[in-house]
């Protein structure tokens, strides 16, 4: 702080100094310190009124307000906008106050309001302090406020004290508000169960808690819930929105994608409470870990959830690039609450992030082997158990017989089909074609080229090919159609199926263009295709000494394993050193117009002096999980908070930048983030536990008129929020109370009931085929997610499209949602079974039956005022169904009677009650 | 309370009475519930914290028609959003000079005086392919891509000053429809429905219809209600099959039983409101009423097969098919029934010329064919019904195109 200005302030403004830090300007605004004055008062005006002409995109008159240096630089007028030695004479103040509208700033639109002008004047007087934006400051330990009334609320019970409450109570005190009393036990049970495991608690855990008189009962309940495997399913739902996980590839064709093993990985990782730093490291760079295991590769499918475009005629490079860009944007928006996407085309309009910095970050992702191919290469192949054991035998044998390097090469090809040269790189077609822009098709007399193939003296050309003719001959030459012959071979028929076929080639070294020419006299017309090449692998001779009997066995095992077609999962894998992809700036975001070459790097404003040592995804992960990273832990705890309280401490989960909202409780956010990294060692479960044990979380959600007035949006948390259940929870709860919900975990996606005519998948013949048995009733997280046509009821309840990272679901309340829970056959079926539950105990009165049902739903007695309309519905419907047996017969039960029909209807109504659709 | 079943109207009166006292409070507290929902906005926009005492939002009748401050001519809006970037230079914005400059480097006069973020080198100009003629009495320029629309040029106003600072479709769509490129702001349709209510209590006030095979890139947020009460968000209707998914009752429930069960649900939810005071509960009550009313009214309105043959001929509609034309005809039916805001999204207009579907020669021609006749029919049809005077039809997109060759991004 500039001492001279500080002193001059003392008489310039009435001011209070509290604790040496907090300055209060009672005339128009109260601010904590000079830096926050900039962040909270000045920067919003700049963003709104100035920056579109004087920012990262445009710098009219050579003046930019993007950062301190650009602000104080001499602009085209030859002067800086603010003269620090003579602040009151600053050009900035003159221009915003100018009487001549031609001279006045902003040059378009209304002049600044008198309040805005006063803010600028004050700011200039303060010496134009340039506060760092809150979200980009590195975290440091936060002092827990100690205020007496906070201590008081626990009646001196130390055990119950919780730092979260201290921060919340401090703000409430400032506003003369208090926390609500604790919610009743039953309400809290349902609330914390829905929040931690996504469904009501299992009966034994619920009963144990409700019967317990221990002061620790609630804490034990939380511990019990955190141990349940359903925990991972609930929180994976949250993560999969960020990961834009879907079972289809997206875009126009939107074919099937096998990537469900990634979902299993997420559920398992969350269940074992994998530290969050490891959780994101494995997803971003699992393949780059030392000795990566299968699950590390599967974790990297996180960034293979990008859509791929199989439509014929599309440019693979365009969509490869789109995927890489999406990875950058997802990493920033989902994991670091930063809108980075706008920096694709130009400097960030609002934050101090440069255009080049986008591409430096993109360079981390730009060297991966995926190229928008239809097979989704590279993949990890999941051999069946015996096959995978045989693979290990084979690799061990190679290691012993030849070298560890050879063993690695053979393992890599069998396990990942890498390295592989994709035929999509072909050009110079003569009577050949890149059919559907996917496969290289050769005809009667044809040729094509594949450029820049690195040869290392390999002697085998293993082609992934198919064809019907036995008579074709392929010749591969180096660097021209008349160049040195690398190999010449007869192509066998594969009877139209894709097959790996080995051919002998001459050992050659260096980077060469390969010219392929194909001749086949047996083809009758020029347009008939003879042989189709999809990709090829170059390999050395199979190891082992001639005459060694094990060589023959192992060689044959190699081919058996290669030709197996086990299921696979797309993964991340980098190009080898000789094929590293160069990254260039896309000028104005146009991927076809490339500018300067850049290497991997981190935006300066976010680096907090972190020193990048590995210029790859692992280095990036190290930066993200470094404690100096200002955003990763803030983003995560804010997301946990949002899941529990309905609104984040920062409401804009997708944007912590200066265009996002400010945190409602900045110290609490920083406290939780610091705790998360340090005390909880990145444990999501521990952080959740700390929050749900707070009185803030446990208070009742009843709102008084006073609170509604003082805290209309509940940003101060003067009460627990009431939140409509998520798409997944609404369905899972209905299945659960009906006794239908399957607790089967993991595996491929399932297809529960869906109306006809929702799906259109004209290309791959993929159909919505109703799953059998319990698979119809799995938790919603396992429902097949087709990008172009997501499961309708999930979408109606604000499920996301899963095309791009979605950092926040906006909750809505619409008649369409009512129609789902009233009429969707899935909900009617659940209601029918739930009705049967109410009927299962013989001899009960109607009131008792409904009471029983309500107890299943909420674990508590129904109030007479809620019971009355339901009993009436029962009576009216029973009378009605007596004379409408045709309706009764439609009930999906064996020999349904009037009682079944009436209870199905009552159950259907109960599943639609506000208290049931809402977390109370 | 006695056991006599109430009609929906009686129900509404009862609800009114029960909530009257609560409403009084809410009115006193600033501007009622609606105001509570958007108080951050009001605080941000005006320094007057008290505002007026005119309650815009009656929680029990959120879609009640309201009188605007100033009399307006238009009663309803049909907003036709071509998702992507139809080239204004090919359709309505005649640039003869551009044609001459085709293939040449971008002249200095275009770049001079403007600061472009990271322009390096000089792009080439792209001349228009569209053959322009002056049309009607106004002499408006309309190209050959829109032969039918050209015939009604005198009914059109052209706004050639629209500007965006967004660079990607999804945020740009959000910007066009919500005024902000970030998630969470109310869409135009939800603002209009919020401010004016709707003339038909049995249909949503704000209906969304999509065509072109995909929904807009930005998803449902482009018709979301942001911080306004969620009752004002657009209701997405299906172009084929059940017009609104799950509109039909399950086989074991008929209209009478559905009504009885909704009565019971809302009765119970009113009790819940008394307990928690949560405004969302009131919203839920009205959503269930609306759902029931939609069940009755929507099938008729959403069925175009009863329209006479000449209407189908005029619009180019084929009942049962998903098409923009069908949606345009539906839009007419909906505004005729008093729906306040009908929003159409047609996907596939990102004609930046890198593939067949996005080429000016084929892609744009095809897209124009899909809309030209239908929009023209809409104008003529509304006119012959006397509705054009009170219906605002907006045609637009989130982007236009730059006059440069093969430059994909950065519209300014």
Concatenated DSSP letters of B306-334:
TS-HHHHHHHT--TTS--HHHHHHHHHHH
Cβ of A315 within 8 Å of Cβ of B356? The answer is no
The whole domain housing A902 covers 823-919
Which of B227, B184, B187, B183 is CA-nearest to residue B207?
A: B187
Per the CB < 8 Å rule, is A801 touching B246? no
Contacts of B168 in chain A (CB under 8 A): 341-342, 344
> Shortest CB distance from B230 goes to which of A756, A814, A875?
A814
pLDDT at A256 (0 to 100)? 92
Tell whether A339 and A439 lie within a shared domain.
Answer: no
Residue-wise pLDDT tens digits, A489-545: 999 999 989 999 999 999 999 999 999 999 998 988 888 889 999 999 999 999 998
B chain contacts of residue A757, beta-carbon cutoff 8 Å: 240-241
Under 8 Å between Cβ of A303 and A283 = yes
CA A732, CA A751: separation in Å to the nearest integer?
14
Name the band, by pLDDT with cuts 50, 70 and 90, for residue B112.
low
Residues A354 and A404 in one domain: no
Crossing angle, helix A727-737 and helix A815-823, to 10 degrees? Answer: 20
CA distance linking residue A287 with residue A281, whole number of Å: 10
DSSP result, B184-253:
TPPPHHHHHHHHH--S-TTS-SEEEEEESSS--TTGGGGG--TTS-GGGSPEEE-SSSSSSTT-SPPTT-
What number is the ipTM of this complex?
A: 0.86
Residue A899 lies in a domain: yes
Q: Residues of A with CB below 8 A from B236's CB? A: 816
Question: For A204, how many CA atoms within 13 A lie in the half-sphere containing its CB?
Answer: 2
Rounded to 5°, the CA angle A376-A382-A384 comes to 150
**CB atoms B294 and A819 under 8 Å:** yes
3-state helix vs strand vs coil in chain A, percent to 5:
45, 10, 45
Low-confidence ranges of chain A (pLDDT < 70): 1-32, 56, 147-160, 252, 313-314, 757, 760-765
A430 and A479 assigned to the same domain: yes
- Burial (Cβ within 10 Å: 0-12, 13-18, ≥19) of residue A511: exposed
The radius of gyration of chain A from alpha carbons, rounded to an integer in Å, stands at 33
CB A326 within 8 A of CB A320: no
Is B267 an 8 Å CB contact of chain A? yes
* Nearest CA-CA partner of B33 in B290, B341, B277: B277
Q: Which residues contact A288 (CB under 8 A, 6 or more apart)?
A: A574, A616, A617, A618
Structural contact between residues A493 and A470, judged by C-beta atoms closer than 8 angstroms: yes
CA-CA distance, A749 to A757, in Å (whole number)? Answer: 20
Q: How many residues are listed for chain B in this entry?
A: 412
- Of the candidates A911, A884, A910, the one whose C-alpha atom is nearest the C-alpha of residue A897 is A884
- For residue A909, which of A797, A827, A846, A812 has the smallest C-alpha distance? A827
Which one, of A781, A772, A769, lies nearest residue A743 by Cα? A781
> Does B267 have pLDDT greater than 80?
yes
Interchain contact A905–B (C-beta under 8 A):
yes
Strand partners, B84: B349
A818/B117 Cβ within 8 A: no
Q: What is the pTM of this model?
A: 0.81
What are the CA-CA distances from residue A427 to residues A60, A424, A439 (Å)? 46, 8, 12
CA A135-A139-A143 angle, 5° bins: 115
Q: With H, G, I as helix, E, B as strand and everything else as coil, classify residue A815.
A: helix
Q: Strand, helix or coil at A25?
A: strand
In B335-374, the residues whose Cβ lies within 8 Å of chain A are 354-356
Each residue of B195-252: pLDDT tens digit? 898 888 778 889 999 988 777 766 667 888 776 766 688 888 876 667 778 999 999 9
Query: Is A215 among the domain residues?
Result: yes
Cβ atoms B341, B79 nearer than 8 A = yes
User: Which residue do the tokens 């205020």 mark?
Assistant: A147
Give how far A726 is from chain B: nearest CA, Å. Answer: 15
Put simply, the answer to whether A588 touches B410 (Cβ < 8 Å) is yes
Considering only CB atoms, B287 lies closest to which of A344, A814, A873, namely A814
Instruction: Report the residue of B26, B170, B212, B250 to disrupt the A interface, i.e. the one with the largest count of A CBs within 10 Å.
Output: B250
Put simply, whether B18 touches A (Cβ < 8 Å) is no
Kindly state whether residues A423 and A531 are assigned to the same domain. yes
Residues 6+ apart with CB under 8 A from A157: none
Residues A88 and A50 in one domain: yes
The yes-or-no verdict on residue B308 having pLDDT over 80 is yes
Let me know: does A351 contact A553? Beta carbons within 8 Å. Answer: no
Which pair of tokens denotes residue A211? 């019967």
pLDDT value, residue B230: 61
Contacts of A814 in chain B (CB under 8 A): 230-231, 233, 235, 287
- Cβ A730 vs Cβ A821: under 8 Å: yes
The burial class, CB within 10 Å (0-12 / 13-18 / 19+), for B53 is exposed
Based on the domain organization, do A407 and A351 belong to the same domain?
no
As a whole number of angstroms, the distance between CA A48 and CA A479 comes to 58
Residue A428 contacts residue A420 (beta carbons within 8 Å): no
Asked whether A652 and A669 are in contact (CB, 8 A), the reply is: no
Residues of A in contact with B37 (CB under 8 A): 712
Closest by CA to A516, choosing from A541, A494, A483, A540, is A483
Smallest CA–CA distance, residue B310 to chain A, in Å, is 29
Mean pLDDT in residue range B298-316: 92
Distance of CA A287 to the CA centre of its chain: 19
Q: Cβ separation of B204 and A808 shorter than 8 Å?
A: no
Query: Nearest-CA neighbor of B129 among B288, B353, B397?
Result: B353
A446 in the same domain as A408: yes
The alpha-carbon gap from B185 to the nearest alpha carbon of chain A, in Å, equals 10
**Nearest-by-Cβ selection for A313 from B120, B267, B356:** B356
Does residue A15 sit within a domain? yes
Q: What is the pLDDT of residue A627?
A: 95
Give pLDDT, residue A257. Answer: 95
pLDDT at B324 over 70: yes
CA gap A914, A916 in Å, rounded: 5
Cα-flanking dihedrals φ and ψ of residue B115, to 5°? -100, 115
Query: Which residue in chain A is spatially nearest to B228 when comparing CA positions?
Result: A812
Q: Give yes or no: residues A504 and A547 share one domain.
A: yes
Answer whether A416's CB lies under 8 Å from A571's CB: yes
Contact B184 A589 (CB under 8 A): no
User: Could you tell me if A246 lies within 8 Å of chain B, comparing CB atoms?
Assistant: no
Q: Is residue A201 part of a domain?
A: yes
**Cα distance between residue B77 and residue B56, in whole Å:** 20
Say if A716 falls within a structural domain.
no
**DSSP secondary structure letter of residue A889:** T
Residue B364 has pLDDT above 60, yes or no: yes
Is A467 an 8 Å CB contact of chain B? no
Question: Which of B40, B190, B258, B261 is best to mutate for the A interface (most A CBs within 10 A)?
Answer: B261
Q: What pLDDT is stored for residue A158 in this prediction?
A: 52
User: Using CA of residue A622, residue A624, residue A629, residue A633, what is the dihedral sign?
Assistant: negative
Rg (CA), chain B: 24
Distance CA A425, CA A317 (A): 10
CB B83 within 8 A of CB B173: yes
Can you give the pLDDT at residue A167? 96
> What confidence score (pLDDT) does residue A16 get?
34
Pair A716, A171: CB distance under 8 Å: yes
Separation between Cα atoms, residue A744 and residue A779, nearest integer Å: 8
pLDDT of residue B162: 85
Predicted local confidence at residue A160, as pLDDT: 55
Q: Which residues 24-83 of A are in CB contact (within 8 Å) with B? A: 52, 56-60
Distance from CA of A117 to the nearest CA of B (A): 15
The label of the residue with tokens 């803010």 reads A119
Please tell me which residue of chain A has the smallest CA distance to B180.
Answer: A659
Distance CA B33, CA B59 (A): 7
CA distance B402 to B407: 8
Residues in chain A: 920
> Does A784 map to a domain?
no
The structural domains of chain B, with segments of one domain joined by +, span 9-47, 76-244+302-396
Residues A418 and A498 in one domain: yes
Average pLDDT, chain B: 78
Distance (Å) of CA A594 to CA A132, A347, B120: 33, 16, 10
DSSP lists the bridge partners of residue A430 as: A447
pLDDT value of position A20: 33
Q: pLDDT band for position B129 (50/70/90)?
A: confident
Which tokens hold the place of A195?
A: 């929040």
**Same domain membership, residue A284 and residue A349:** yes
Residues A323, A308: contact at Cβ < 8 Å? Answer: yes
Phi, psi of A745 (to 5 degrees): -110, 160
Best mutation site among B193, B224, B245 for testing chain A: the one with the most A CBs within 10 Å? B245
Considering only CB atoms, which chain A residues are within 8 Å of B83?
none
A519 three-state secondary structure = strand
Residue whose pair of structure tokens reads 């949006």 in the numeric block: A713
For residue A624, which of A226, A260, A331, A273 has the smallest C-alpha distance? A331
Smallest Cβ distance to B252: which of A655, A890, A914?
A890
Hey, is the C-beta of A673 within 8 angstroms of any chain B C-beta?
no
Nearest CA in chain B to A908: B261
What tokens does A473 get?
A: 């001959």
A703 inside 8 A of chain B by CB: yes
Please count the structural domains in chain A: 5
Q: Give residue B30's region: left, alpha or beta (phi > 0; psi -120 to 50).
A: left
**What's the pLDDT at A434?**
87
């Amino acid at each position: 702080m500039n001492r001279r200005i500080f002193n001059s302030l003392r008489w310039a403004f009435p001011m209070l100094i509290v604790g040496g830090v907090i300055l209060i300007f009672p005339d128009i605004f109260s601010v904590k310190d000079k830096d926050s004055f900039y962040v909270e008062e000045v920067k919003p005006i700049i963003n709104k009124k100035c920056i579109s002409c004087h920012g990262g995109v445009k710098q009219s008159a050579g003046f930019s307000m993007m950062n301190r240096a650009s602000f104080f630089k001499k602009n085209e007028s030859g002067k800086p906008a603010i003269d620090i030695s003579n602040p009151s004479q600053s050009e900035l103040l003159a221009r915003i106050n100018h009487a001549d509208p031609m001279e006045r700033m902003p040059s378009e639109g209304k002049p600044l309001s008198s309040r805005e002008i006063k803010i600028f004047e004050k700011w200039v007087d303060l010496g134009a302090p340039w506060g760092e934006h809150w979200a980009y400051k590195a975290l440091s330990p936060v002092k827990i406020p100690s205020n007496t009334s906070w201590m008081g609320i626990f009646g001196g019970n130390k055990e119950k004290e919780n730092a979260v409450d201290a921060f919340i109570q401090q703000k409430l005190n400032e506003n003369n508000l208090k926390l609500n009393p604790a919610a009743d036990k039953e309400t809290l049970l349902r609330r914390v169960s829905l929040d931690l495991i996504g469904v009501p608690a299992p009966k034994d855990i619920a009963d144990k808690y409700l019967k317990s008189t221990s002061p620790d009962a609630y804490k034990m309940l939380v511990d019990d819930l955190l141990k349940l495997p359903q925990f991972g399913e609930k929180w994976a739902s949250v993560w999969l929105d960020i990961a834009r996980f879907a079972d289809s590839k997206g875009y126009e064709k939107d074919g099937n994608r096998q990537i469900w093993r990634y979902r299993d990985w997420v559920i398992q990782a969350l269940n074992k409470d994998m530290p969050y730093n490891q959780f994101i490291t494995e997803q971003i760079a699992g393949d780059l870990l030392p000795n990566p295991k299968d699950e590390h590769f599967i974790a990297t499918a996180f960034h293979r959830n990008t859509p791929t475009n199989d439509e014929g005629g599309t440019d693979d490079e365009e969509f490869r690039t789109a995927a890489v860009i999406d990875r950058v944007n997802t990493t920033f928006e989902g994991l670091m609450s930063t809108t980075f996407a706008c920096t694709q085309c130009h400097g960030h309009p609002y934050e101090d992030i440069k255009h080049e910095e986008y591409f430096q970050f993109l360079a981390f992702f730009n060297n991966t082997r995926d190229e928008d191919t239809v097979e989704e290469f590279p993949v990890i192949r999941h051999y069946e158990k015996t096959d995978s054991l045989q693979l290990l035998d084979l690799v061990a044998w190679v290691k012993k017989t030849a070298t560890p390097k050879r063993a690695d090469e053979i393992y890599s090809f069998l396990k990942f089909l890498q390295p592989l040269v994709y035929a999509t790189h072909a050009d110079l077609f003569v009577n050949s074609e890149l059919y559907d822009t996917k496969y290289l098709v050769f005809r009667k007399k044809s040729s094509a080229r594949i450029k820049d193939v690195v040869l290392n003296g390999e002697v085998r050309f293993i082609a992934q090919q198919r064809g019907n003719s036995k008579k074709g001959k392929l010749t591969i030459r180096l660097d021209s159609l008349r160049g040195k012959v690398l190999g010449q071979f007869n192509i066998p028929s594969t009877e139209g199926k894709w097959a790996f076929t080995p051919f002998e080639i001459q050992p050659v070294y260096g980077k060469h263009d390969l010219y392929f020419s194909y001749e086949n006299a047996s083809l009758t017309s020029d347009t008939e295709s003879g042989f189709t090449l999809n990709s090829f692998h170059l390999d050395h001779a199979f190891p082992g000494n001639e005459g060694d009997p094990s060589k023959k066995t192992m060689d044959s095992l190699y081919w058996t394993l290669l030709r197996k077609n086990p299921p696979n999962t797309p993964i991340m894998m980098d190009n080898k050193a000789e094929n590293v992809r160069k990254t260039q700036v896309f000028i104005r975001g146009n991927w076809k117009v490339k500018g300067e070459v850049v290497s991997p790097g981190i935006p300066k404003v976010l680096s907090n002096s972190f020193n990048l040592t590995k210029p790859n995804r692992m280095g990036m992960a190290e930066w993200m999980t470094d404690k100096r990273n200002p955003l990763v832990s803030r983003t995560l705890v804010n997301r946990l908070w949002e899941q529990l309280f309905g609104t984040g401490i920062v409401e804009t989960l997708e944007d912590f930048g200066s265009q996002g909202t400010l945190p409602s409780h900045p110290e609490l956010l920083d406290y939780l983030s610091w705790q998360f990294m340090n005390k909880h060692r990145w444990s999501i479960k521990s952080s959740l536990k700390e929050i749900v044990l707070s009185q803030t979380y446990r208070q009742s959600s009843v709102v008084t008129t006073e609170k509604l007035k003082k805290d209309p949006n509940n940003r101060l948390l003067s009460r627990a929020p009431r939140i409509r259940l998520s798409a997944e929870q609404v369905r899972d709860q209905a299945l659960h109370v009906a006794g239908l919900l399957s607790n089967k975990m993991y595996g491929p996606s399932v297809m529960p009931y869906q109306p006809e005519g929702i799906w259109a998948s004209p290309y791959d013949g993929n159909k919505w085929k109703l799953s059998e048995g319990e698979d119809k009733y799995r938790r919603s997280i396992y429902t097949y997610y087709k990008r172009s046509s997501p499961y309708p009821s999930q979408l109606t309840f604000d499920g996301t499209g899963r095309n791009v990272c979605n950092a926040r679901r906006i909750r809505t309340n619409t008649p369409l949602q009512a129609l789902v829970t009233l009429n969707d056959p899935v909900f009617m079926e659940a209601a029918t079974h739930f009705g049967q539950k109410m009927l299962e105990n013989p001899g009960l009165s109607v009131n008792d039956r409904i009471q029983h049902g309500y107890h299943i739903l909420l674990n508590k007695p129904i109030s007479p005022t809620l019971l009355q309309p339901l009993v009436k519905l029962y009576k009216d419907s029973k009378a009605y169904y007596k004379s409408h047996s045709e309706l009764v017969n439609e009930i999906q039960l064996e020999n349904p009677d009037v009682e079944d029909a009436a209870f199905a209807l009552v159950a259907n109504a109960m599943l639609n009650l506000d208290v049931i659709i809402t977390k109370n | 309370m006695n056991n006599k079943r109430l009609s929906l109207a009686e129900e509404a009166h009862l609800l009114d009475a029960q909530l009257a006292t609560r409403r009084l409070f809410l009115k006193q507290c600033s501007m009622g519930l609606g105001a509570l929902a958007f108080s951050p906005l009001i605080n941000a926009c005006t320094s007057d914290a008290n505002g007026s005492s005119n309650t815009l939002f009656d929680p029990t009748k959120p879609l009640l028609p309201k009188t605007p401050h100033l009399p307006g001519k238009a009663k309803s809006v049909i907003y036709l959003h071509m998702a992507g970037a139809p080239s204004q230079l090919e359709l309505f914005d005649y640039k003869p000079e551009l044609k001459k400059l085709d293939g040449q480097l971008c002249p200095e006069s275009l770049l001079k005086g403007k600061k472009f973020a990271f322009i390096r080198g000089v792009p080439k100009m792209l001349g228009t392919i569209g053959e322009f003629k002056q049309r009607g009495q106004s002499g408006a320029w309309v190209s050959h891509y829109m032969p039918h629309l050209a015939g009604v040029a005198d009914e059109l106003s052209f706004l050639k000053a629209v500007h965006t600072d967004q660079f990607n479709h999804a945020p740009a769509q959000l910007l066009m429809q919500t005024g902000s490129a970030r998630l969470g702001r109310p869409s135009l349709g939800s603002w209009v429905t919020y401010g004016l209510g709707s003339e038909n209590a049995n249909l949503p006030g704000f209906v969304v219809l999509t065509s072109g095979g995909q929904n807009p890139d930005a998803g449902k947020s482009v018709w979301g209600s942001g911080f306004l009460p969620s009752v004002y968000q657009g209701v997405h209707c299906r172009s084929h099959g059940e017009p609104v998914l799950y509109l039909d009752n399950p086989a074991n429930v008929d209209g009478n039983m559905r009504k009885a069960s909704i009565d019971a649900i809302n009765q119970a939810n009113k009790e819940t409101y008394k307990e928690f005071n949560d405004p969302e509960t009131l919203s839920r009550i009205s959503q269930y009423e609306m759902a029931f009313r939609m069940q009755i009214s929507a099938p008729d309105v959403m069925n175009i097969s009863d329209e006479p043959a000449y209407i189908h001929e005029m619009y180019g509609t084929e009942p049962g098919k998903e098409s923009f034309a069908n949606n345009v005809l539906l839009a007419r039916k909906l505004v005729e029934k008093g729906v306040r805001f009908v929003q159409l999204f047609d996907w596939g207009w990102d004609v930046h010329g890198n593939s067949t579907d996005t080429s000016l020669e084929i892609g744009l021609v095809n897209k124009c064919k899909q809309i030209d006749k239908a929009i023209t029919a809409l104008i003529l049809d509304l006119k012959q019904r006397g509705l054009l005077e009170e219906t605002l039809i907006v045609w637009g997109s989130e982007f236009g195109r730059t006059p440069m060759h093969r430059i994909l991004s950065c519209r300014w």
